[in-house]
Amino acid sequence: MSSDKTPLQSSAVINEAVQTLRDGGLVAFPTETVYGLGADAKNAEAIQKIFSAKGRPSNHPLIVHLAAPDKFDRAQIDWLPLLTPWVRDLSDDALKLMNAFWPGPLTLVFKKDKSVLDELTGGQDTVAIRAPAHPVAQELLRKFKGGVVAPSANRFGKVSPTSAADVRNEFEGMLDLMVLDGGDCEVGIESTIIDLSSGDSAILLRPGVITPKEILAKTGITVYQLDEAKDQNLIPVLPRVSGSMRAHYAPTTPLRLYAPGRVLDALSEFPDIKSRVAVAVWDSESSLGEDGHPSVHFEEVEVPSNSTTFASRLYRSLRDLDQQGWDLILFPEPPAGEEWDGVRDRLQRACFGSGPSSSSHASN
Ligand code: TXA
Ligand code: MG
């Protein structure tokens, strides 16, 4: 994506990463969404290493990442032969979605081919696949010539990494990990996930920067929200999606959202008033002013009022603020509108899981 400004990894380094994957090792690599922790999708032992490195329950399924053919012209890619080793029943809708959005930040869930390892799917009958657009990911995948499973390269429940340094910090002292550096991730939140495995309908499992509205506009396909799909019995078996747990993507510092103009209300939950509070404010709005709280020191941090720019910086901001020793972090509630669904989803889960005792939440 940003090959003009990003110092991309040399071929020699990528070749070494390919060899590491072939030897059953783990390699962290950049994608346009977040950094992934990769392993050979055909190697059960390598896949187990991902679960132990992340501390993730072993029945949570992983996404298989595939390369687009070399020197692609988006419109000309024939995805069918690339997908058939992994999935059964490729529908016309699936092909339309791939043609419109791959390579890119969209993951599709299919009924799996029988050769797909249970270790990868958490024992489910479906498999999630995506073709990332980042040039380093593409080069790695093309040279590896196979599928690479990759969850976000963070410890389970924590904030996803959007730079190589974030990945190193996440596993420091635990794991001697090869990390390919592809600069900062442009999208900044994880891919949109659409479940096509029920055959007839497309169901949104995880919101991201590609929205149902954009999908409808580009392909004519209606994507149902998970609640709608449940109400209309469009989904026979509820998939397990770890990002769907209430607590996820969470910083260690307590994080809360405030309604427009209601910063002080957000403090009511913290009666033993905290002294240092970071308050994120929209860059389009004037500052909060001086009428704060007598015993609280607020410091304002501007956040973008454009949804895609906000997404691209969200995890960076959460990580940075988490390092700065605040007692509390406040973010403005994202406005209504589908283009904000991805960041609203991540922020709400980050709030729920945040704080030093987040591990006590039953759902994490
Ligand atoms: O942007 C992304 O998708 C990043 C980059 C690295 O590609 N990956 C990522 O992976 O976010 P992870 O493992 O952190 O989240 C993958 C999500 C999980 O919530 C998982 O439950 C869901 O995908 N998933 C994987 N396979 C699935 C399946 N067969 N059915 C339903 N959900 C599935
Ligand atoms: Mg994740």
> Residue 243 above 60 pLDDT?
no
pLDDT above 50: residue 221: yes
CB 14, CB 136: distance < 8 Å: yes
Q: Quote the pLDDT of residue 343.
A: 97
Range of the domain at 352: 255-361
Distance in Å, CA 271 to ligand 2 centroid: 33
Predicted confidence at residue 203, as pLDDT, reads 94
Atom of ligand 1 nearest to the CA of 244: 19
Residues 164 and 308 grouped into a single domain = no
Assess if residue 33 is contained within a domain: yes
Q: Say if 238 falls within a structural domain.
A: no
Arithmetic mean of pLDDT over the chain: 89
> Measured in angstroms, how far is the CA atom of residue 264 from the centroid of ligand 2?
32
49: CATH: 3.90.870.10
Q: Is residue 47 part of a domain?
A: yes
pLDDT band at 199, cuts 50/70/90? confident
- Nearest atom within ligand 1 for CA of residue 239: 31
When pLDDT is cut at 50, 70 and 90, the band that residue 357 belongs to is: low
DSSP state of 73: -
Considering the domain architecture, whether residues 20 and 138 belong to the same structural domain is answered as yes
Cβ < 5 A residues, ion ligand 2: 152
Q: Is 126 in the pocket of ligand 1 (CB under 6 A)?
A: yes
Query: Both 154 and 271 in a single domain?
Result: no
Q: How many domains, the chain?
A: 2
Residue 154 has pLDDT above 90, yes or no: yes
Residue 276 belongs to some domain of the structure: yes
188 shares its domain with 87:
yes
Ligand 1 within 6 A of CB of 118: no
Pair (202, 321) in one structural domain: no
Cα-based torsion angle of the residue sequence 116, 120, 126, 127 in order, rounded to the nearest 10 degrees: -80
The larger pLDDT score, comparing residue 357 to residue 140, is at: 140
CA angle 202, 208, 210 (to 5 degrees): 65
The answer to whether residue 239 is domain-embedded is: no
pLDDT score recorded for residue 4: 46
In a domain, 204, yes or no: yes
Per-residue model confidence (pLDDT) at position 270? 77
Report how far ligand 1's centroid is from the alpha carbon of 344 (Å): 18
Which pLDDT score is estimated for 360? 36
Residue 243 within a domain: no
Answer whether 135 contacts ligand 1 (Cβ < 6 A): no
How many Cα atoms occupy the beta-carbon half-sphere of 104 within 13 Å?
14
Q: Which amino acid is at 64?
A: V
- Which residue's CA is minimally distant from atom 31 of ligand 1? 239
pLDDT at 226 (0 to 100): 86
pLDDT value, residue 72: 62
* Residue of higher predicted confidence among 313 and 231: 313
Note the pTM of the prediction, 2 decimals. Answer: 0.93
Residue 284: DSSP 8-state: T
For residues 26 and 37, is the Cβ–Cβ distance under 8 A? yes
Inform me whether the pLDDT recorded for 316 exceeds 70: yes
Residues 103 and 17 in one domain: yes
> For position 59, what pLDDT does the model report?
86
Counting atoms of ligand 1 from 1, which one is nearest the CA of 191?
A: 1
Say if residue 200 is in the same domain as residue 291.
Answer: no
18 in contact with ligand 1, CB cutoff 6 A: no
Q: What average pLDDT score do residues 43-64 get?
A: 94
Residue 83 pLDDT more than 70?
yes
Q: Which of 216, 231, 246 is the last residue of a domain?
A: 231
Q: Is 61 in the pocket of ligand 1 (CB under 6 A)?
A: yes
Letter for the amino acid at 6? T
Note whether 212 and 263 are same-domain residues. no
Ligand nearest, relative to CA of residue 248: 2
Is 349 in contact with 247 (CB distance < 8 Å)? yes
Mean pLDDT of 320-342: 95
**Cα(285) to centroid of ligand 1, in Å?**
35
Burial, 356: exposed, middle or buried (Cβ in 10 Å; 0-12, 13-18, 19+)? Answer: exposed
SS3 of the chain: helix, strand, coil, percent, to 5 = 30, 20, 50
Instruction: Quote the pLDDT of residue 99.
Output: 94
Q: What is the pLDDT of residue 330?
A: 95
Task: Tell me: do 169 and 311 sit in the same domain.
Answer: no
Is residue 348 assigned to a domain?
Answer: yes
- Alpha carbon dihedral 104, 109, 115, 118, in 10-degree steps, equals 110
CATH of the domain at 304: 3.40.50
Model confidence at 74, pLDDT cuts 50, 70, 90, reads confident
Percent of the chain at pLDDT exceeding 70: 90
Instruction: Note the ligand closest to the C-alpha atom of 158.
Output: 2
Name the 3-class secondary structure at 111.
Answer: strand
Give the pLDDT score at 102.
Answer: 96
Q: Which of 14, 362, 320 is nearest to 182 (CA)?
A: 14
Q: What is the CA(351)–ligand 1 centre distance, in A?
A: 20
The closest ligand to the CA of 64 turns out to be 1
The pLDDT assigned to 52 comes to 95
CA atoms within 13 A on the CB side of 32: 23
Q: Are residues 223 and 346 in the same domain?
A: no
Is the domain of 224 the same as that of 302?
no
Categorize the per-residue pLDDT at 28 as very low, low, confident or very high, splitting at 50, 70 and 90. very high
Same domain, yes or no: 163 and 310: no
Ligand 1 center from residue 246 Cα (angstroms): 16
Q: Which ligand is nearest to the CA of 61?
A: 1
Whole-number pLDDT of residue 75: 74
Nearest to 86 by CA among 27, 149, 26: 149
Q: What is the mean pLDDT of residues 311-331?
A: 95
Q: What is the mean pLDDT of residues 329-333?
A: 96
CA Rg value for the chain: 21
Question: In this prediction, what percent of the chain has a pLDDT beyond 90?
Answer: 70
